[in-house]
Amino acid sequence: MAFSLGSITRRLSSALGGSGGEESVLGVDIGSASAKIVQLRASRGSAILETYGEIALGPYGKQPIGKAVKLSPEKTAEALIDLMKEANVTARTGGISIPFSSSLISVLSFPKVDQDALKRMIPIEARKYIPVPVSEVTLDWFVIPQDEGEEKSAFDRVQGPPPARQSGQEVLLVAIHNDTVNSYQTIMETAGIHVEFYEIEIFSTIRSSLSHGIAPILVVDLGAATTKMYIVERGIVRLTHLVTSGGQHMTELLARTLNWEFEKAERVKREQGLEASAAYSTDENDRIKTALLSTLGRLFSEINRVLLSYGQRYNKNVSHVVFTGGGASLPGLPEHAKSTLNAEVTIADPFARTDAPAFLGDVLRTIGPGFAVSVGLVLRKLKQA
């Protein structure tokens, strides 16, 4: 099954003379509108990009490309199998991301107690934050290091808690519903992929798209159904915020305004975005831009609100916003964001962390934001190697 707009694949193994050898690993990101896969191989300290691909999930649920769909595990596996075939994926092990919306991430405050006491206190305290019985979730947590000079990477966080030192301590608590994990297991088993690890998408994105700086940064993942925002400081997630609006909403509003089918609006959004095109009259170009900006404007106000509230709460200036997710590829987004947001703006370039043929540079930069999660997943595995 090939979709002109919804699936992008590249076969790189032959171009690189790669064999898809033993160390090749996969990163699988099943989003609400599309699934992405990345295959990398570790070689002499670098991550060689062997292949990657994306497939729209809409058509598997009788919906157009770009629509968010809820598919059965079987249908999702079918899409994944098609994607692997199309992208010529040879590896069969790797990591899969858990959507932020299926997880619960909170920062909890505790008095200074030792690790054993903390271990007993956390599940009890967690009940206040988790709306379902604690027995139905998988809990993970770590103590947030307080030493300003100490840098922690997103990778370190999943290794277990470092020792606490100071009077109070803060703990980052992560909970995932067991049903979610089970359903991903079914998908991956059906698709013939051995899951070596699960990771909440935020942590994958941090690994692929942020440098390990100390200053707080706001990451904005412009997905199809939702927009996820999180502030990362010293490599650690300090605040998360989910907005139930995203790229799909943008397309819907454009379709309604111009009286187009969803498919056409989706195509025009991706091709010209906020930039005027010779294919339309000045009036039409204006209406296209206004329709797209209507959704985007609300998202940007929300971003500015998050920047402001974090700044006030912690008395710190969040001076940098990094955009990821498919929506970050909207033509004209960087210019608009720079003029609207009270911060420096960057579009994520996750493939920059991989070794890929130079001729693919432009393509990878353009489609890169949508692959932030899948690239981040494989990078985790390669760092362990």
CB 57 within 8 A of CB 123: no
The continuous run of DSSP H or E covering 109 comes out as strand 103-111
246 binding ligand ATP? (CB under 6 A): yes
Q: Which residue, 70 or 112, is less far from ligand ATP as judged by CB?
A: 70
6 binding Mg ion? (CB under 5 A): no
Contact code string over 5-34 relative to ligand ATP, x by CB under 6 A: --------------------------xxxx
**Separation of alpha carbons 275 and 333, rounded Å:** 9
Q: Binding residue for ligand ATP (CB under 6 A) from 9, 208, 226, 245?
A: 226
- Binding-site partner at residue 145 among ligand ATP, Mg ion, none, CB < 5 to 8 Å by type: none
CB 271 within 8 A of CB 263: no
Contact code string over 271-290 relative to ligand ATP, x by CB under 6 A: --x-----------------
DSSP β-bridge partners for residue 8: 54
DSSP annotation of 234 reads: T
Q: Which residue, 95 or 273, is less far from ligand ATP as judged by CB?
A: 273
Phi, psi of 177 (to 5 degrees): -70, 135
* Residues in 247-266 that interact with ligand ATP by CB under 6 A: 247-248, 251, 266
Q: Binding residue for ligand ATP (CB under 6 A) from 58, 235, 325, 350?
A: 325
31 binding Mg ion? (CB under 5 A): yes
Distance of closest approach, residue 194 Cβ to ligand ATP, in angstroms: 23
Tokens in use for 148?
Answer: 């300003």
Binding span for ligand ATP by CB under 6 A among 37-45, 181-189, 220-228, 281-289: 220-228
Q: Give, in order, the Cα–Cα distances in Å from 342 to each of 150, 209, 327, 345.
A: 28, 20, 20, 9
> Nearest-CA neighbor of 310 among 107, 167, 102, 126?
107
Q: Binding residue for Mg ion (CB under 5 A) from 6, 223, 327, 376?
A: 223
**Separation of alpha carbons 229 and 10, rounded Å:** 30
Q: Binding residue for ligand ATP (CB under 6 A) from 27, 94, 216, 370?
A: 370
- Binding-site partner at residue 118 among Mg ion, ligand ATP, none, CB < 5 to 8 Å by type: none
DSSP β-bridge partners for residue 148: none
Residue 296's Cβ-side half-sphere holds a number of Cα atoms within 13 Å equal to 24
Site residues for Mg ion per CB under 5 A? 31, 223
